[in-house]
Structure 1
């Protein structure tokens, strides 16, 4: 019997594990408890360190734009921290106490709660990443528009709106669209991946929202990066200081890359599984979900490590006075300036300059001869 079952029974009849509980290969080992505990502690401590770093940076920041970005990052850190805390407590408790789901949770309340938490804390980082990409895109493309300057209250409202959106999606199974089931090896609950119409619809909603968030982040961050490179390597690069913009863009791109690597395999796996009639890969789901969980551990290290203050200590010999791409790559900047000027210049002017060079050389030679004769 497959782990993925048709959810045509109501949740209050304990369908979340009544059929699967007898076939789950539960194997309580010290290694499982140790791995889960270390994994959870590492993630929680990383996010706590990142939160302290963000608070200090926020207090020292004098830029309105950077303060707004730091608030977004703080919302992402809090989300990752709570996600690891809520789901980690249940998983670690399962490996330590060896509790039986049917005895502890006969009405699937705990299983539904954990499934909702997995969906909620999974979608929130992806939606927040897309939201930050939109904010940076508007800030770089239209830097002088007053409407693009987000106040602290507006940033907090935006973060809460993202949480509400992810929360509404996670509540869909309680409204009859999809269901949450106990998953192998019996320590966690997640959405039921099956070909049943309601389960399929919920799985597609979860996958498409995540994939669209990653696609939005990729497109907008790419455009913002190209625009920022042009500004940094332009003629006004020495006048306009873009230290904080470069730092924010680097952090945002790294967040996007980590989220894409960690989440894209799981999202594609879910979409492909419910859309095809092939045999479900239970081990593949377990591998992909563990891979996705690394996103909550790697994210905070982006804020901890990729800051100018840290990079100054790692590379003290590098010129960080200007702190921009131009200072890091002066040769590239000068080359781009020369190419841009050459492309703007008209061919007629270039031909005139070329034709005038021999005349200048002849006049200089004539003057030199006259001076030598005299």
Structure 2
């Protein structure tokens, strides 16, 4: 029996249930953000025509939304207040652990795929334009889901899951000295670290390309274009890249590094368990932040929202007035067919 198992056997009844105000705020904010993002993606489908970027973002939003809802329900079931007796290696513990592994891997893999797509669009526009419509590329969300399901289910055969401090949820057993448990945990951590590193590097290269004004590829206009030199466009794109790097640097990289350090450590103290739990709590906020970064704070969304409220002030505005009003919310470079704006990359 590992240290964490011994700790939970003696302290589970004294742990604070995960039904706090902060948890309620997290679940509510996550459901609202992902639901609004999902509605906006569907309503704007005639505009983006479900190109690969938007398919990836849709998959990301759906997975994040499902993860928040499922973890909220499981958290209620696992709470001491529910009166249910859940144990290690039980169906509920295994289900929660597989779901956490699946959602975390899917999240970071989609984020990495989006970063690679942006890198190709800016640094290799000719190659990008030739492969963007390939069936395998268009089916990439399905490939990602199948791959992460297979990886998340791997521990059901080569390892096992266990309660994690503060003993009210289950995850990969990173404290075990058993060889097969170590193998699966190592696979999970290494894949996570590689994906997070690749995503960070790709986003940095995208930022460099934007700052240099390199030729890029506009998925909206299906043609080769120049990146807009308008400062507001550049600041908007830079804000999105910085937000993505922030999510990776705060939510995913610390967790993966901490898990790796815990695995190679000779012994694990209660303080180490508490530190690990802090990183788990930070990682789950990626599910809340994703829809805001990839959908809700994109420039075309903000422009449409401003246009909607302006239209409410003038309900009798004619169709020509609609067009003029919408154009007034878009900078001149955005109307130039040879340039692109925030959100097109």
TM-score, normalization: structure 1? 0.70
Measured in 2, the distance between the counterparts of 1:22 and 1:227 equals: 54
- 1:80 pairs with 2:72: no
Distance 2:116 2:71 in 1: 29
Distance 2:96 2:36 in 1: 26
1:32 to 2, 14, 19: 19
- Pick aligned residue for 2:131 from 143, 148, 154: 148
- Compute the TM-score of the two structures, normalised by the length of structure 2: 0.75
Question: Structure 1 unaligned runs (5+)?
Answer: 6-18, 329-374
| Cα contact 2:200–2:248 (8 A) shared by 1 | no
Tell me by how many angstroms 1:47 deviates: 0.5
Over 3 Å counting, the alpha-carbon distance change for 1:233 and 1:168 in structure 2 is closer
What secondary structure is seen at the aligned counterpart in 1 of 2:54?
Answer: helix
Cα offset for 1:138?
Answer: 1.9
Q: Among 256, 261, 266, which residue is 1:267 paired with?
A: 256
- Partners of 2:18 and 2:258 in 1: CA distance: 27
Indicate how the Cα distance of structure 1 residues 327 and 38 shifts in structure 2: closer, same or farther if over 3 A, else same: closer
- State whether residues 123 and 209 of structure 2, in contact with CA within 8 Å, keep that contact through their aligned partners in structure 1: yes
Partner of residue 106, structure 2: 124
What is the aligned partner in structure 2 of residue 45 from structure 1?
32
Q: Deviations over 1:317-336 (max 9, x none)?
A: 99722149x999xxxxxxxx
Distance 2:93 2:206 in 1: 42
| Residues 119-159 of structure 1, C-alpha deviations (whole Å, 9 max, x = no match) | 111111111111112222222223233532235x5445211
Aligned to 1:296: 287
Q: Which residue, 91, 100, 104 being the options, matches 2:85?
A: 100
Distance apart, 1:27 and its partner CA:
4.2
Of 249, 257, 265, the residue aligned with 1:276 is: 265
* Secondary structure at the counterpart of residue 150 of structure 1: coil
Q: Aligned pair in 2 of structure 1 residues 78, 249: CA closer, same or farther (>3 Å)?
A: farther
Matches within 5 A, 1:1-374: 3-4=3-4, 21-27=8-14, 32-61=19-48, 67-95=51-79, 96-102=81-87, 108-145=90-127, 146-150=129-133, 154-176=136-158, 178-194=159-175, 195-231=177-213, 240=225, 242=227, 251=240, 254-280=243-269, 281-302=272-293, 303-310=295-302, 313=306, 320-323=331-334
The verdict on how the C-alpha distance between 1:242 and 1:309 changes in structure 2, with shifts beyond 3 A counting, is farther
Tell which structure's C-alpha radius of gyration is larger: 1
**Cα distance in 2 between the residues matched to 1:252 and 1:318:** 23
Shift of 1:115: 0.6
Deviations 1:25-56 (A, max 9, x none): 33476883444333222211210011112223
Deviation of the 1:258 alpha carbon: 1.0
Name the SS for the 1:182 alignment partner. strand
Do the aligned partners of 1:20 and 1:182 also contact (CA within 8 Å) in 2? Answer: no
Q: Please, which runs of 5 or more residues in structure 2 have no aligned partner? A: 217-223, 308-326
Query: What RMSD in Å do the two structures reach over aligned CA positions?
Result: 3.4
What is the count of residue pairs matched by the alignment? 300
Which has the higher mean CA deviation after the structures are superposed, 187-196 or 209-218? 187-196
Contact 2:110–2:144 (Cα < 8 Å) also in 1: yes
